[in-house]
Amino acid sequence: MANRKKKKIGKASNRKTDPLAWWREARFGMFIHWGIYAVAAGYWKGQPIPRLGEWIMHHAKIPLAEYARLARQFNPVRFDADAWASLAKQAGMKYLVITAKHHDGFAMYDSPCSTYDVMDATPFGRDPMQELARACRKAGLKLGFYYSQYQDWADPDGGSYAPDYDPTKRNFDRYFRHKCIPQVRELLTQYGPIGLIWFDTPGQMTPAQSLELKQLVHSLQPRCLVSGRVGNDVGDYGSLGDNQIPRGPVEGDWETPATINDTWGFKRQDHHWKSAGTLLCLLADLASKGVNYLLNVGPTAQGVIPAPSVTRLREVGRWMKVNGQAIHGTAASPFPYTHDWGRITQKGRTLYLMFFRWPGGQFVLHGLRNKVHRAYLLAGRRKKIAITQTHDRKLDRHVLRLALPSRPPDRKISVVVLELAGKADADPAPLQQGDGAIRLQTHLAQVHCPDSAAPITISRGGVADYWVSTKNSLSWSFKVFEPGLFRVEVVVARAKDKNFPSGYAVKVTLGGATVEGILADEKTVQNAATRYHPEAATTLGKLRIDQPGTHKLALGLLKVPQGDSTGLRVTCVNLLPTR
């Protein structure tokens, strides 16, 4: 996972001078994975090949000469660049990034320095990048090129999978000079203004090589952005992991590339489509954390975007038409945590509350310190919403009450707009929410590591990573308004496709009382974000809080199962009101 230097946010970007301004405003883009792997479409010699479609050469261990023959069958006569651009536009996307060359090394454009490209090796006889560049310009979309700068499975000196070449004889620098740099130059000189180059998997690239690539891009097109996966922290913006959903706001400029089903490149057998509702939750979730959503389609070898993708993107577009202002040009929520009912974005003096679950009737938001002038719904008949605001000085409890209609005005995510007296100002402390629950997310925890040889680290995604020492602990200070009895639930990230690591024992201390227990795979957490990053929740018991005010909860580790080297990966401790 590439990362980059932290950059302060909060400064409004100057549209004219800041080359990132359009990208920050966009929030939503279309990724397109298209190559000769679409001919194979997930099958090799009649056998379905698991995992990512664009990785089939690697996964099916296909020799280069055999794989290269796919090019002869690549004739996407149904390719229509205008149709792709207009689908992106209809969906509310503001930029489009297409694979000019993926790891397989096959150039999907007319590359003068190689014959392993769409013009020389396929019967198609057209340059799709030329047609897309024109279509994007016409549609007002920024165009970006994905370029696999390190991995090249067709070049004897390229990185990673090398079916026909001796890896010990590799000279990466030779590939870098003879293919990578010339091709990046071609992409930036043959197609007019390019919004960004999306590099990927930097592998063993040196800082000097990453920097040279970035400088090459900027020397040819100074306003062209370079993705964080150019490597060595030199990108213009950061790239989170594939399909990664961080738990809280991420500082700086970040993007998550994501799939609609499970593959990037087309696979006939992948029918695991996320619903339009899920895609919208992910879009709202990422926007609420200040992260761009680069959502992928994998067209067929005929040049057609699969129908399930098209119908979903059109549905997303229908929502965006009404509610797009809650996404475009917004910044992360002023609250450092997510709410159970939905997500928040902000723009100027406006807050957008995006309800995943419609509370109906009375809704309570805690911790907003601003005066709210006006509240209204985006969908339906722009109905004004009655507001009451109170502030209890003793508890420093800010309450905003909204009188919502009983039925949700939007069938997917209903948006309530709040117009504030000033820039949004939220209490940064974890607070008991309107539904009585207290959710203590790991990215807001204080980390205590007396055992400094094995410190707990909090990942950028907001998970406690590598917690293996029973001497170390996490704690939270939080405000309680309605005391009572609470069920204590510990939520952990569990490995995908692996058994739950059993045997971790933990202890929760609150005031003088303690509950402890062994974490089990009792309850799998189900939400839009958990498909690739599953979570499991365990109830440890009940604890009572007698007084309103600020309280402190500590989470300790009592026992680590033998042979587990990943450590305990906690995402959240929940205190859920009970009787």
* 363 three-class SS: strand
Residue nearest to ligand H79 (CB): 264
| Sole window of 50-58, 115-123, 334-342, 521-529 interacting with ligand H79 (rule: CB under 6 A) | 50-58
Residue 175 is a binding residue for ligand H79 (CB under 6 A): no
Comparing CB distances to ligand H79, the nearer of 32 and 492 is 32
Is residue 243 near ligand H79 by the rule CB under 6 A? no
Phi, psi angles (nearest 5°) of residue 177: -80, -35
Asked whether position 490 contacts ligand H79 by CB under 6 A, the answer is no
Binds ligand H79 (CB under 6 A): choice among 201, 300, 350, 530 = 201
Q: 203 is written with which tokens?
A: 């592998």
- If you count them, how many residues does the chain have? 579
> Binder to ligand H79 among 264, 319, 356, 358 (CB under 6 A)?
264
SS3 assignment, position 51: coil
Main-chain dihedrals φ then ψ at residue 270, nearest 5 degrees: -90, 100
Residue 74 or 146: which CB sits closer to ligand H79? 146
Among 127, 157, 200, 489, binds ligand H79 (CB under 6 A): 200
Q: Are 290 and 254 in contact (CB under 8 A)?
A: yes
Q: Residue 150: what are its φ and ψ, rounded to 5°?
A: -105, -55
Distance CA 33, CA 264 (A): 6
* CB atoms near residue 135 (< 10 Å): 21
Q: Shortest approach of ligand H79 to residue 51 CB, angstroms?
A: 6
Closer to ligand H79 by Cβ: residue 64 or 294: 294
Window of 9-17, 52-60, 188-196, 340-348 that interacts with ligand H79 by CB under 6 A: 52-60
Q: Determine contact, residues 367/337, Cβ cutoff 8 Å.
A: no
Q: Which of 55, 74, 79, 476 binds ligand H79 (CB under 6 A)?
A: 55
Q: Is 257 in the site for ligand H79 (CB under 6 A)?
A: yes
Which residue type occupies 222? P
Q: How many CB atoms lie within 10 A of CB 364?
A: 15
Quick note: the x/- pattern for ligand H79 over 105-144, rule CB under 6 A, is ----------------------------------------
- Report the residue from 25, 242, 451, 516 that binds ligand H79 according to the rule CB under 6 A: 242
Q: How far is the CB of 444 from ligand H79 (least distance, A)?
A: 30
Counting contacts by CB under 6 A, is residue 445 touching ligand H79?
A: no
Rounded Cα–Cα distance for residues 47 and 38 (Å): 15
Max Cα-Cα span within the chain:
76
Question: What gap in Å lies between CA 281 and CA 326, rounded to an integer?
Answer: 12
On the 0-12 / 13-18 / 19+ scale of CB atoms within 10 A, 396 is: middle
Q: Which is nearer to ligand H79, 257 or 501 (CB)?
A: 257
Q: Are the CB atoms for 313 and 323 separated by under 8 Å?
A: no
**Does 54 participate in binding ligand H79 (rule CB under 6 A)?**
yes
Smallest gap from Cβ 55 to ligand H79, in A, equals: 6
Using the rule CB under 6 A, is 84 a contact of ligand H79?
no
**Quick check: 104 binds ligand H79 (CB under 6 A)?**
no
Nearer to ligand H79 (CB atom), residue 105 or residue 257 = 257
**Cβ count within 10 A of residue 367:** 22
Q: Which is nearer to ligand H79, 54 or 489 (CB)?
A: 54
Stretch of residues binding ligand H79 (CB under 6 A), selected from 49-57, 162-170, 278-286, 431-439: 49-57
Backbone angles phi, psi at 64, to 5 degrees: -55, -45
Stretch binding ligand H79 (CB under 6 A), from 48-56, 132-140, 173-181, 449-457: 48-56
Q: Does 230 contact ligand H79 by CB under 6 A?
A: no
Structure-token match 């010990």, residue found:
168
For residue 255, state whether it binds ligand H79 (rule: CB under 6 A): no
Eight-class DSSP state of 405: -
Around 371, how many Cα atoms within 13 Å sit in the side-chain half-sphere? 3
Q: Which chain residues interact with ligand H79 by CB under 6 A?
A: 51-52, 54-55, 200-201, 242, 257, 264
